[in-house]
């Protein structure tokens, strides 16, 4: 369970420190820090512990493989996925493709989730959140 939102700065070389809290989860819950980074739909990055990624891909393959959505999912999410490990300082290097997709420049937000987390450009995230709040105010969720 990756908890909370954390802001960090990407340096000139494109390296981002993974929040210590997340690294603890990786070490303790998943026994190693190998992760898989890929694109997400909302213009951010999605990060899985390697085991979770395998599970995810397996699930993906149980779907009927010839629908347009599934093919799109393969192009957007599956094919961009990169396996990597934090360096000795606990940072990961984000490659050009992913950096560009998520619009990462310097200020970055990690957003928790269960079994995975996201990496956002701070500003982009703020805009999205604003939209979300408005949408929720107008929605009539019943729980």
Decide if residue 30 touches a second copy (CB under 8 A): no
54's contact among a second copy, DNA, none, with CB below 5 to 8 A by partner kind, is none
Angle made by CA atoms 47, 106, 85, in degrees to the nearest 5:
35
In the region spanning residues 81 to 140, those forming contacts with DNA, defined by CB under 7 A, are 84, 87-91, 93, 95-96
State the Cα–Cα distance between residues 35 and 81, nearest whole angstrom. 10
Q: How many residues bind a second copy (CB under 8 A)?
A: 44
Task: Check if the beta carbon of residue 47 is closer than 8 Å to that of residue 116.
Answer: yes
Closest alpha carbon to 14 in 83, 85, 108, 79: 108
Binding site for a second copy (CB under 8 A): 3-7, 41-42, 56, 59-60, 62-63, 68-70, 72-76, 78-83, 95-97, 111-113, 118, 128-129, 131-133, 135-137, 139, 141, 143
């Amino acid at each position: 369970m990756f908890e909370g939102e954390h802001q960090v700065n990407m340096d000139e070389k494109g390296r981002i420190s993974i929040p210590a809290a997340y690294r603890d989860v990786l070490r303790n819950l998943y026994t190693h820090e190998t992760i898989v980074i890929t694109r997400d739909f909302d213009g951010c990055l999605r990060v899985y512990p390697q085991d979770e990624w395998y599970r995810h891909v397996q699930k993906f393959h149980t779907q009927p493989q010839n629908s347009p959505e599934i093919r799109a999912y393969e192009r957007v999410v599956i094919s961009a996925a990169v396996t990597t490990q934090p360096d000795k300082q606990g940072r990961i290097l984000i490659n050009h493709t992913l950096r560009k997709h998520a619009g990462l420049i310097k200020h970055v937000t990690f957003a928790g989730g269960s079994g995975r987390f996201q990496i956002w450009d701070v500003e982009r995230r703020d805009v999205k959140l604003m939209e979300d709040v408005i949408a929720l105010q107008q929605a009539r969720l019943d729980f």
